[in-house]
Amino acid sequence: MNSFGNSFWERYSRQLVLPVIGKEGQLKLKESSVAVIGCGALGTTSSMLLARAGVGRIKVIDRDYLELHNLQRQILYDEEDVLRAEPKAVICARKLKAINSSIEVEAVVDDVSSENVEDLIRDVDLVVDGLDNLETRFIVNDAALKLSKPWIYGSVISTYGVSMNIIPGETPCLRDLIPHLPPPGSLPTCETAGVLNAAAIMVASIQVTEAIKILTGQEYFKDELLFMDPWNREFKRIKVRRSPSCPSCVKKRYEFLERRGTRSIVLCGRNAVQVMPPRKASLNLGKLAEKLSKIGVVKYSSHMLLFKSGSYEIALFPDGRAIIKGTSDGKVARAIYSKYIGV
Protein backbone atom coordinates (compact mmCIF):
# COMPACT_ATOMS: atom_id res chain seq x y z
CA MET A 1 0.00 0.00 0.00
CA ASN A 2 1.37 3.43 -0.87
CA SER A 3 1.59 6.48 1.38
CA PHE A 4 -2.06 7.35 0.67
CA GLY A 5 -3.33 4.05 2.07
CA ASN A 6 -4.14 5.38 5.55
CA SER A 7 -5.65 8.68 4.40
CA PHE A 8 -9.21 7.41 3.79
CA TRP A 9 -11.06 10.24 5.53
CA GLU A 10 -8.77 12.92 4.13
CA ARG A 11 -9.20 11.64 0.56
CA TYR A 12 -12.99 11.94 0.73
CA SER A 13 -13.19 14.98 3.04
CA ARG A 14 -15.11 17.11 0.51
CA GLN A 15 -17.59 14.32 0.00
CA LEU A 16 -18.00 13.59 3.70
CA VAL A 17 -19.29 17.09 4.40
CA LEU A 18 -22.08 16.61 1.90
CA PRO A 19 -25.21 15.90 4.00
CA VAL A 20 -26.48 13.52 1.31
CA ILE A 21 -23.39 11.28 1.68
CA GLY A 22 -21.56 11.80 4.98
CA LYS A 23 -19.53 9.15 6.79
CA GLU A 24 -22.21 6.48 6.55
CA GLY A 25 -22.63 6.96 2.81
CA GLN A 26 -18.88 6.94 2.23
CA LEU A 27 -18.54 3.61 4.01
CA LYS A 28 -21.38 2.22 1.89
CA LEU A 29 -19.52 3.28 -1.26
CA LYS A 30 -16.39 1.57 0.04
CA GLU A 31 -18.32 -1.69 0.37
CA SER A 32 -20.01 -1.36 -3.04
CA SER A 33 -19.15 -2.91 -6.39
CA VAL A 34 -20.01 -1.62 -9.86
CA ALA A 35 -19.57 -3.01 -13.37
CA VAL A 36 -18.99 -0.42 -16.08
CA ILE A 37 -19.72 -2.02 -19.44
CA GLY A 38 -17.84 -0.17 -22.15
CA CYS A 39 -14.67 1.91 -21.74
CA GLY A 40 -15.49 4.60 -24.28
CA ALA A 41 -16.78 8.15 -23.88
CA LEU A 42 -19.38 7.28 -21.23
CA GLY A 43 -17.50 4.45 -19.56
CA THR A 44 -14.19 6.25 -19.05
CA THR A 45 -15.89 9.23 -17.45
CA SER A 46 -18.20 7.17 -15.24
CA SER A 47 -15.50 4.74 -14.11
CA MET A 48 -13.15 7.62 -13.30
CA LEU A 49 -15.81 9.42 -11.23
CA LEU A 50 -16.74 6.19 -9.42
CA ALA A 51 -13.08 5.56 -8.58
CA ARG A 52 -12.62 9.10 -7.31
CA ALA A 53 -15.83 8.81 -5.25
CA GLY A 54 -14.46 5.74 -3.48
CA VAL A 55 -16.52 2.84 -4.84
CA GLY A 56 -14.63 -0.12 -3.41
CA ARG A 57 -14.64 -2.44 -6.42
CA ILE A 58 -14.99 -1.52 -10.07
CA LYS A 59 -15.11 -3.99 -12.95
CA VAL A 60 -14.45 -2.41 -16.35
CA ILE A 61 -15.51 -4.45 -19.37
CA ASP A 62 -14.68 -3.66 -22.99
CA ARG A 63 -14.04 -5.59 -26.22
CA ASP A 64 -12.09 -2.91 -28.09
CA TYR A 65 -8.70 -1.26 -28.40
CA LEU A 66 -7.71 2.40 -28.33
CA GLU A 67 -7.45 4.59 -31.46
CA LEU A 68 -6.45 8.22 -31.96
CA HIS A 69 -9.98 9.47 -32.67
CA ASN A 70 -11.07 8.19 -29.24
CA LEU A 71 -9.07 10.91 -27.47
CA GLN A 72 -11.54 13.62 -28.49
CA ARG A 73 -14.13 12.30 -26.01
CA GLN A 74 -12.67 9.42 -23.96
CA ILE A 75 -11.08 11.54 -21.27
CA LEU A 76 -9.18 8.88 -19.31
CA TYR A 77 -6.71 8.17 -22.13
CA ASP A 78 -3.79 10.09 -23.63
CA GLU A 79 -1.55 9.93 -26.70
CA GLU A 80 0.91 7.52 -25.11
CA ASP A 81 -1.91 5.06 -24.51
CA VAL A 82 -2.74 5.05 -28.23
CA LEU A 83 0.79 3.83 -28.98
CA ARG A 84 0.38 0.80 -26.72
CA ALA A 85 -0.89 -2.48 -28.13
CA GLU A 86 -3.37 -2.87 -25.30
CA PRO A 87 -7.14 -3.16 -24.98
CA LYS A 88 -9.15 -0.27 -23.56
CA ALA A 89 -10.18 -2.23 -20.46
CA VAL A 90 -6.54 -2.87 -19.48
CA ILE A 91 -5.55 0.78 -19.94
CA CYS A 92 -8.67 1.98 -18.15
CA ALA A 93 -8.04 -0.28 -15.13
CA ARG A 94 -4.44 0.90 -14.87
CA LYS A 95 -5.53 4.54 -14.94
CA LEU A 96 -8.17 3.96 -12.25
CA LYS A 97 -5.62 2.32 -9.95
CA ALA A 98 -3.30 5.30 -10.49
CA ILE A 99 -6.15 7.58 -9.42
CA ASN A 100 -7.14 5.53 -6.37
CA SER A 101 -4.83 2.72 -5.28
CA SER A 102 -7.06 1.83 -2.32
CA ILE A 103 -9.86 0.40 -4.47
CA GLU A 104 -10.06 -2.89 -6.36
CA VAL A 105 -10.22 -2.66 -10.14
CA GLU A 106 -10.77 -5.58 -12.50
CA ALA A 107 -10.27 -5.39 -16.26
CA VAL A 108 -12.29 -7.74 -18.45
CA VAL A 109 -11.36 -7.83 -22.13
CA ASP A 110 -14.36 -9.49 -23.70
CA ASP A 111 -17.44 -8.93 -25.79
CA VAL A 112 -20.60 -8.82 -23.67
CA SER A 113 -23.02 -11.38 -25.07
CA SER A 114 -25.96 -13.53 -24.06
CA GLU A 115 -23.46 -16.29 -23.23
CA ASN A 116 -21.38 -14.38 -20.66
CA VAL A 117 -23.39 -11.37 -19.44
CA GLU A 118 -24.84 -13.06 -16.36
CA ASP A 119 -21.43 -14.19 -15.16
CA LEU A 120 -20.00 -10.72 -15.76
CA ILE A 121 -22.53 -8.85 -13.63
CA ARG A 122 -23.52 -11.50 -11.08
CA ASP A 123 -20.97 -10.36 -8.48
CA VAL A 124 -21.63 -6.59 -8.56
CA ASP A 125 -24.20 -4.36 -6.90
CA LEU A 126 -24.93 -2.13 -9.88
CA VAL A 127 -24.24 -1.83 -13.62
CA VAL A 128 -23.40 1.39 -15.49
CA ASP A 129 -24.01 1.49 -19.24
CA GLY A 130 -21.12 2.69 -21.38
CA LEU A 131 -22.12 0.75 -24.48
CA ASP A 132 -22.23 1.84 -28.11
CA ASN A 133 -25.02 -0.36 -29.48
CA LEU A 134 -28.63 -1.10 -28.63
CA GLU A 135 -28.53 -4.88 -29.09
CA THR A 136 -26.03 -5.33 -26.26
CA ARG A 137 -28.07 -2.96 -24.09
CA PHE A 138 -31.09 -5.23 -24.60
CA ILE A 139 -28.93 -8.17 -23.47
CA VAL A 140 -27.79 -6.26 -20.37
CA ASN A 141 -31.37 -5.21 -19.65
CA ASP A 142 -32.56 -8.83 -19.62
CA ALA A 143 -29.64 -10.04 -17.51
CA ALA A 144 -29.98 -7.23 -14.97
CA LEU A 145 -33.70 -7.89 -14.59
CA LYS A 146 -33.15 -11.64 -14.26
CA LEU A 147 -30.47 -11.17 -11.59
CA SER A 148 -32.22 -8.21 -9.89
CA LYS A 149 -29.31 -5.85 -10.53
CA PRO A 150 -29.97 -2.10 -10.84
CA TRP A 151 -28.51 -0.64 -14.00
CA ILE A 152 -28.25 2.88 -15.39
CA TYR A 153 -28.89 3.29 -19.08
CA GLY A 154 -27.00 6.03 -20.89
CA SER A 155 -26.51 6.98 -24.52
CA VAL A 156 -25.04 9.93 -26.42
CA ILE A 157 -24.95 11.00 -30.07
CA SER A 158 -24.32 14.33 -31.77
CA THR A 159 -24.82 17.07 -29.12
CA TYR A 160 -27.37 15.26 -26.94
CA GLY A 161 -27.76 12.25 -24.71
CA VAL A 162 -30.14 10.44 -22.37
CA SER A 163 -30.05 8.56 -19.09
CA MET A 164 -32.55 6.44 -17.19
CA ASN A 165 -32.44 4.40 -13.98
CA ILE A 166 -33.67 0.84 -14.37
CA ILE A 167 -34.37 -0.85 -11.04
CA PRO A 168 -35.82 -4.39 -11.25
CA GLY A 169 -39.25 -4.59 -9.66
CA GLU A 170 -39.49 -0.80 -9.21
CA THR A 171 -39.19 0.99 -12.54
CA PRO A 172 -39.90 0.48 -16.23
CA CYS A 173 -37.09 -1.21 -18.15
CA LEU A 174 -35.36 -0.47 -21.44
CA ARG A 175 -38.01 -2.34 -23.45
CA ASP A 176 -40.71 -0.11 -22.04
CA LEU A 177 -38.77 2.76 -23.56
CA ILE A 178 -37.73 0.96 -26.77
CA PRO A 179 -39.98 -2.09 -27.30
CA HIS A 180 -38.13 -3.58 -30.29
CA LEU A 181 -34.65 -3.57 -31.73
CA PRO A 182 -34.67 -1.04 -34.60
CA PRO A 183 -33.66 -2.31 -38.06
CA PRO A 184 -30.02 -1.88 -39.15
CA GLY A 185 -29.26 1.55 -40.53
CA SER A 186 -32.28 3.22 -38.93
CA LEU A 187 -30.36 4.97 -36.14
CA PRO A 188 -27.61 7.62 -36.44
CA THR A 189 -24.06 6.54 -35.63
CA CYS A 190 -21.17 8.42 -34.08
CA GLU A 191 -19.41 8.34 -37.46
CA THR A 192 -22.28 9.99 -39.32
CA ALA A 193 -23.65 12.26 -36.58
CA GLY A 194 -20.54 12.85 -34.45
CA VAL A 195 -20.31 13.20 -30.67
CA LEU A 196 -19.84 16.37 -28.62
CA ASN A 197 -17.44 15.44 -25.83
CA ALA A 198 -19.20 17.67 -23.30
CA ALA A 199 -22.48 15.84 -23.97
CA ALA A 200 -20.86 12.49 -23.17
CA ILE A 201 -19.34 13.84 -19.97
CA MET A 202 -22.69 15.29 -18.93
CA VAL A 203 -24.55 12.01 -19.45
CA ALA A 204 -21.87 10.03 -17.57
CA SER A 205 -21.96 12.54 -14.71
CA ILE A 206 -25.71 12.03 -14.35
CA GLN A 207 -25.23 8.26 -14.44
CA VAL A 208 -22.65 8.39 -11.65
CA THR A 209 -24.77 10.75 -9.56
CA GLU A 210 -27.68 8.32 -9.73
CA ALA A 211 -25.35 5.38 -9.02
CA ILE A 212 -24.09 7.08 -5.85
CA LYS A 213 -27.68 7.71 -4.75
CA ILE A 214 -28.63 4.06 -5.27
CA LEU A 215 -25.51 2.66 -3.61
CA THR A 216 -25.86 4.92 -0.55
CA GLY A 217 -29.58 4.32 -0.14
CA GLN A 218 -30.73 7.80 -1.16
CA GLU A 219 -33.79 8.69 -3.19
CA TYR A 220 -33.21 8.39 -6.93
CA PHE A 221 -35.24 9.32 -9.99
CA LYS A 222 -37.76 6.73 -11.09
CA ASP A 223 -39.98 6.24 -14.13
CA GLU A 224 -38.37 8.93 -16.24
CA LEU A 225 -35.81 9.50 -18.96
CA LEU A 226 -33.59 12.56 -18.71
CA PHE A 227 -32.79 14.17 -22.09
CA MET A 228 -29.78 16.51 -22.20
CA ASP A 229 -28.57 18.73 -25.03
CA PRO A 230 -25.85 21.06 -23.67
CA TRP A 231 -25.26 22.68 -27.07
CA ASN A 232 -28.83 24.00 -27.19
CA ARG A 233 -29.24 24.17 -23.42
CA GLU A 234 -32.22 21.88 -23.65
CA PHE A 235 -33.12 19.52 -20.82
CA LYS A 236 -36.27 17.42 -20.55
CA ARG A 237 -37.61 14.93 -18.02
CA ILE A 238 -39.73 12.48 -19.97
CA LYS A 239 -42.16 10.17 -18.16
CA VAL A 240 -41.73 6.47 -18.99
CA ARG A 241 -44.49 4.03 -18.11
CA ARG A 242 -44.26 0.29 -17.71
CA SER A 243 -46.13 -1.57 -20.40
CA PRO A 244 -48.42 -4.33 -19.06
CA SER A 245 -47.21 -6.48 -21.94
CA CYS A 246 -43.47 -5.83 -21.56
CA PRO A 247 -41.78 -9.19 -22.22
CA SER A 248 -38.82 -8.41 -19.96
CA CYS A 249 -39.89 -6.66 -16.75
CA VAL A 250 -43.53 -7.81 -16.67
CA LYS A 251 -43.68 -11.23 -18.31
CA LYS A 252 -40.07 -12.08 -17.41
CA ARG A 253 -39.30 -13.56 -20.80
CA TYR A 254 -35.65 -12.77 -21.36
CA GLU A 255 -35.62 -13.13 -25.12
CA PHE A 256 -32.21 -11.53 -25.65
CA LEU A 257 -30.55 -13.99 -23.28
CA GLU A 258 -31.83 -16.84 -25.43
CA ARG A 259 -30.23 -15.56 -28.63
CA ARG A 260 -27.05 -17.46 -29.42
CA GLY A 261 -24.52 -17.80 -32.15
CA THR A 262 -23.90 -14.29 -33.55
CA ARG A 263 -20.49 -14.68 -35.14
CA SER A 264 -19.87 -11.23 -36.56
CA ILE A 265 -21.05 -7.80 -35.47
CA VAL A 266 -20.68 -4.56 -37.41
CA LEU A 267 -19.29 -1.97 -34.98
CA CYS A 268 -21.04 1.38 -34.73
CA GLY A 269 -19.46 4.07 -36.86
CA ARG A 270 -16.15 2.27 -37.18
CA ASN A 271 -16.02 0.69 -40.65
CA ALA A 272 -15.10 -2.40 -38.67
CA VAL A 273 -16.51 -5.83 -37.90
CA GLN A 274 -15.99 -7.97 -34.82
CA VAL A 275 -15.45 -11.65 -35.66
CA MET A 276 -15.79 -14.36 -33.04
CA PRO A 277 -14.68 -17.98 -33.58
CA PRO A 278 -17.14 -20.81 -32.83
CA ARG A 279 -15.15 -21.70 -29.71
CA LYS A 280 -12.85 -19.62 -27.54
CA ALA A 281 -9.19 -20.23 -28.22
CA SER A 282 -5.97 -19.70 -26.27
CA LEU A 283 -3.65 -18.12 -28.81
CA ASN A 284 0.09 -17.64 -28.53
CA LEU A 285 0.23 -14.07 -29.76
CA GLY A 286 4.03 -14.06 -29.85
CA LYS A 287 4.23 -16.96 -32.30
CA LEU A 288 1.44 -15.54 -34.41
CA ALA A 289 3.16 -12.14 -34.48
CA GLU A 290 6.34 -13.78 -35.75
CA LYS A 291 4.42 -15.40 -38.60
CA LEU A 292 2.39 -12.33 -39.54
CA SER A 293 5.39 -9.97 -39.44
CA LYS A 294 6.57 -11.54 -42.70
CA ILE A 295 3.54 -10.20 -44.57
CA GLY A 296 2.55 -7.01 -42.74
CA VAL A 297 3.15 -4.64 -39.83
CA VAL A 298 2.70 -6.20 -36.38
CA LYS A 299 2.60 -4.83 -32.85
CA TYR A 300 1.61 -6.94 -29.88
CA SER A 301 1.47 -7.36 -26.11
CA SER A 302 0.23 -10.16 -23.89
CA HIS A 303 -3.27 -8.69 -24.21
CA MET A 304 -3.62 -8.00 -27.93
CA LEU A 305 -2.00 -8.21 -31.36
CA LEU A 306 -2.35 -5.49 -34.01
CA PHE A 307 -1.67 -6.52 -37.61
CA LYS A 308 -1.94 -4.28 -40.68
CA SER A 309 -1.80 -5.43 -44.27
CA GLY A 310 -2.96 -3.23 -47.15
CA SER A 311 -6.19 -1.46 -46.28
CA TYR A 312 -7.14 -3.84 -43.46
CA GLU A 313 -6.14 -3.81 -39.80
CA ILE A 314 -6.76 -6.73 -37.44
CA ALA A 315 -6.88 -6.45 -33.65
CA LEU A 316 -6.63 -10.01 -32.33
CA PHE A 317 -7.22 -11.06 -28.74
CA PRO A 318 -5.92 -14.22 -26.99
CA ASP A 319 -9.35 -15.88 -26.99
CA GLY A 320 -9.48 -15.72 -30.80
CA ARG A 321 -11.85 -12.77 -31.04
CA ALA A 322 -10.83 -10.17 -33.62
CA ILE A 323 -11.85 -6.71 -34.80
CA ILE A 324 -11.35 -6.30 -38.55
CA LYS A 325 -11.01 -2.65 -39.52
CA GLY A 326 -11.46 -1.51 -43.11
CA THR A 327 -14.78 -3.15 -43.92
CA SER A 328 -18.38 -3.16 -42.70
CA ASP A 329 -19.22 -6.40 -44.52
CA GLY A 330 -19.40 -9.41 -42.23
CA LYS A 331 -18.58 -11.86 -45.02
CA VAL A 332 -15.48 -9.91 -46.02
CA ALA A 333 -14.37 -9.70 -42.38
CA ARG A 334 -14.76 -13.44 -41.87
CA ALA A 335 -12.79 -14.09 -45.06
CA ILE A 336 -9.95 -11.84 -43.86
CA TYR A 337 -9.97 -13.61 -40.51
CA SER A 338 -9.74 -16.99 -42.22
CA LYS A 339 -6.95 -15.81 -44.52
CA TYR A 340 -4.64 -14.44 -41.84
CA ILE A 341 -5.68 -16.14 -38.61
CA GLY A 342 -7.30 -19.36 -39.75
CA VAL A 343 -10.41 -21.09 -38.41
What is the Cα–Cα distance from 157 to 200, expressed in whole angstroms? 8
Q: Write the CB contacts of 74 (distance below 8 Å, at least 6 apart in sequence).
A: 39, 40, 41, 44, 66
Query: Catalytic: 39?
Result: no
Q: Are 44 and 60 in contact (CB under 8 A)?
A: no
Q: Are 246 and 238 in contact (CB under 8 A)?
A: no
Q: Write the CB contacts of 231 (distance below 8 Å, at least 6 apart in sequence).
A: 159, 160, 196, 199
Query: Other CB atoms closer than 10 Å to residue 209's CB: what's the count?
Result: 16
Report strand pairing: 297-300 vs 305-309: antiparallel
In the set 190, 246, 249, 268, the catalytic residue is 190
Q: Write the CB contacts of 260 (distance below 8 Å, at least 6 apart in sequence).
A: 114, 115
Degrees to nearest 5, angle at CA 131 with 127 and 133: 135
User: What are the C-alpha distances in Å from 108 to residues 58, 59, 85, 153?
Assistant: 11, 7, 16, 20
Q: Are 115 and 260 in contact (CB under 8 A)?
A: yes
What is the Cα–Cα distance from 63 to 272, expressed in whole angstroms? 13
The alpha carbon of 49 is separated from its chain's Cα centroid by a whole number of angstroms, namely 14
What is the Cα–Cα distance from 145 to 235, expressed in whole angstroms? 28
What is the Cα–Cα distance from 322 to 307, expressed in whole angstroms? 11
- Looking at residue 158, what DSSP letter applies? B
| Element at 127 (helix H, strand E) | strand 126-129
The catalytic residues are: 190
